[in-house]
Amino acid sequence: MFTLKAPAKINWFLKVSGKRKDGYHDILSLMQCVALYDSLTFEESDGMEVVTDAPIPPEANLVYRAMVLLKQMCGVSVGARITLSKDIPMAAGLGGGSSDAATALTGLSRLWNLDLTISELAQLGGRLGSDVPFFFYGPSALVEGRGEIVSAVSSRRSWTILLVKPLLEVSAAWAYGQLDKGASPGEVLTKEHDNIRLFSQSLENGDFALLSSVRRNDLEPPVIRRYPVIGDIREAMIGMGALFSSMSGSGPTVFGVFDSERRATEAMAHMPPYWCRVVRTLTSDG
């Protein structure tokens, strides 16, 4: 029996360039793991079981689906029991389910002595969800395509982050469905690649004024139009001293970067009774 931690993520930058023929969207995103974790405990079992207090039916549980997929693809004859303890809120834009799936594949490969490479695990993970491959290459990476093209990015500095999730859930499928698709992907992606490189350099330098000038999350405007409270939270964070603030992924969680844990905690105390957490970004050296 052993336990692994599955970290949450934020999106520093998220460009959506259009819908693909397979129904997914092409994205360009700089993603970052943060110190907020679910935990998964693995043990041998004759059957296939996921034990969790989260209200997730088996057919929708990415941990269970990861177990079934790996067992089928690798011809495993034994079973497993995974106990999933959730601390990452669901449908929050923090990648909890995707991180759980990646961690399940990693843990099961170890439990079943499959000796799969990161590349092989990430390829399987992409069959479970677009964000899953990122978690094999974090803590910071550039993610492209539908999420299957992942390039690790150096992340040497750790930042204090305040996460705030209002009392609502946003479906990623709904959020992507709201986007206009009139832009030319080729022309836009060239510019956004330049912005991503500038963003990464500025993040390492702590130049949050410049970061704010090139900030982008294409899902944020349509989500805020439907749920104005998300914009209110972002404005409140800036008003309370956040150096940078944005919605993460498809929302509704908003994150703010603060120059100290004290300032982040003070800002959290002035938030409405939402789910809030002060965390730090994870670094490449652990």
Which residues form the catalytic set?
A: 9, 131
In three-state secondary structure terms, 86 is coil
Report the distance separating Cα 79 and Cα 65, nearest Å.
13
The closest of 159, 25, 173 to 93, measured between CA atoms, is: 173
The answer to whether 122 and 150 are in contact (CB under 8 A) is yes
CB atoms closer than 10 angstroms to residue 270: 10
Q: 63 vs 83, 87, 116, 160, CA distance in Å? A: 10, 15, 18, 29
Q: Measured between alpha carbons, how far is 22 from 227 in angstroms, rounded to an integer?
A: 29
Q: Which residues contact 50 (CB under 8 A, 6 or more apart)?
A: 58, 61, 63, 64, 67, 81, 82, 83, 84
Of residues 282, 219, 281, 280, the one with CA closest to residue 253: 219
How far is Cα 165 from Cα 271, in angstroms, rounded to an integer?
10
Closest CA to 31 of 285, 255, 267, 231: 255
